[in-house]
Amino acid sequence: MTQTPYGEDPDPSEPLPAGPLYVPVRPGSSSCTIRLFRTPLGGRTAVGFTSERRLVATLGAHQARIRLAEPALRALTTPLGVTTVTVNPQFTAPAPAPDPASSPAPVPASAPAPDLDPDPASAAATPAQPKPAPALRAG
């Protein structure tokens, strides 16, 4: 069997490294944490962008970011059980809001809605809701 270069192989056995990526992070007091997202099917994925312009177009100008090589991003996320890296996603959606039926107390219409970032484990326990379009979501 002859070796086929990646360019000719329709289904390479290993993904090609994407090179240096702009990776979204959450800054902390002394360090930062890589943001993980969910695929439309609910799987966890790390995200990287090949240009700062693409990151800003998808996540906004205020999104903190660091530069990481794709193998380094994989090495940091694999111990967390995240084996997928999505490069240059085009769509994102906010994390799902909790089901109003399970909310302990209704929020008055005149009060501003709280900024919720649900725990990914509890979000996975709620029934899946149909989505209008495939998108990555924070989580």
Q: What would the mean pLDDT of 21-49 be, rounded to a whole number?
A: 93
Residue 92 has pLDDT above 80, yes or no: no
Taking a C-beta distance cutoff of 8 angstroms, is the pair 59, 22 a contact?
A: no
4, 13 Cβ separation under 8 angstroms: no
pTM of the full predicted structure? Answer: 0.57
The number of folded domains in the chain is 1
26 domain residue, yes or no: yes
Residue 96 confidence (pLDDT): 67
In a domain, 74, yes or no: yes
Give the β-pairing of 65-69 and 32-34. Answer: unpaired
Neighbours of 63 (CB within 10 A): 15
Distances (CA, A) of 113 to 56, 97, 105, 106, 107: 26, 10, 13, 11, 7
According to the model, what pLDDT value does residue 109 have? 52
Q: Is residue 132 part of a domain?
A: no
User: Is the confidence at residue 14, as pLDDT, over 60?
Assistant: no
Domain of 72 in residue numbering reads as 16-88
125 in any annotated domain: no
**In the prediction, which pLDDT does 131 show?**
39
Mean pLDDT value of segment 134-139:
61
Residue 129 is predicted with a pLDDT of 43
DSSP string, 112-128: PPP-----HHHHHHSPP
